[in-house]
Structure 1
Amino acid sequence: MVTRTVALRTAAACALPLLLTSCGNDGPPAASPGTSAAEVQAITSTFEHFFDSSLPVDQKMALLQNGQAFTETLEHQAHSSIAGGASANVSQVDADGPGRASVTFTIKKHGIPLLPNRHGTALQLDGTWKVAAATFCDLLRIEGGVPAVCDATPTTAPVPTS
């Protein structure tokens, strides 16, 4: 139990704004009918770049819904030693209405899956796909500390119990 808790906290800290690579799925993400290849690629790119630990905070903010509201959290994560080596892999993108998609992704640390098959949301805002603030807040909740902006943000997926 302690090992799982440590792994989840580490994953959440990493997950925050610094993840995405590959998680045993080297091919393109699966897509549901109604989701174009271009949309899948744009959404995948958004998620992978947002969670890429080498991406500067200002660029991460641009990939996150209401990114400016998360500046302090993103800065903190960027300077966290736990975040290094974090990545994520998108394995599924499903249309969920106009300008909205459900995304299945795995968060890894140094290539080891820590939070497999997470469910999040991508939103198309002003013609650009972004990681939904609720998705980011869900990951922050796993870590145990969330910024006040998350208090007004509903969750997008339940925390797995297994």
Structure 2
Amino acid sequence: MPSETALPEGPFDGRLAFDAALRAALDAAARKGWREIVLSDPDFADWPLGERTSIAALQAWAASGRSLILLAEGFGVFDRAHARFVEWRRLWSHIVEARACSGSAAPAVPSAVWTPSWSLHRIDPERSRGVCSHQAESRRALRERLDECLRQARPAFAASTLGL
């Protein structure tokens, strides 16, 4: 995993560019010591969250006092497509909050990554087109959209299943 990957700035176009930007963000999280990360997508189906490099980057980032917020319409794809992430989430459940925002009155969940100093907003998820930015105004506008979804969201994607 490259340790000096620069975070992209400006527009990106295509799945490979989106994946590269997401990997760069996860790698930067540990290097920059981000206290909070928000990952948001309607279902995360096409995110590279189950890859070994993604899990290694999250593992390097994870520490006490850190917070990862996952926001989606639903988390059904995780067990099938992101098994490594599911296991990592179980180990780090105390820093991961997963929330589902769905329903006819709920706002659309954006496909995005928000951090205290950088953001990625996939404006056209079907074609994986969007924009990355270090600009405070862009991050603030994205955070407002995320917060609106979070206000209407409910806890979801439990770290473990308790049963009899």
Q: Please indicate, yes or no, whether the TM-score normalized by the shorter chain is above 0.5.
A: no
- Alignment TM-score, normalising by the size of structure 2: 0.25
- Alignment TM-score, normalising by the size of structure 1: 0.25
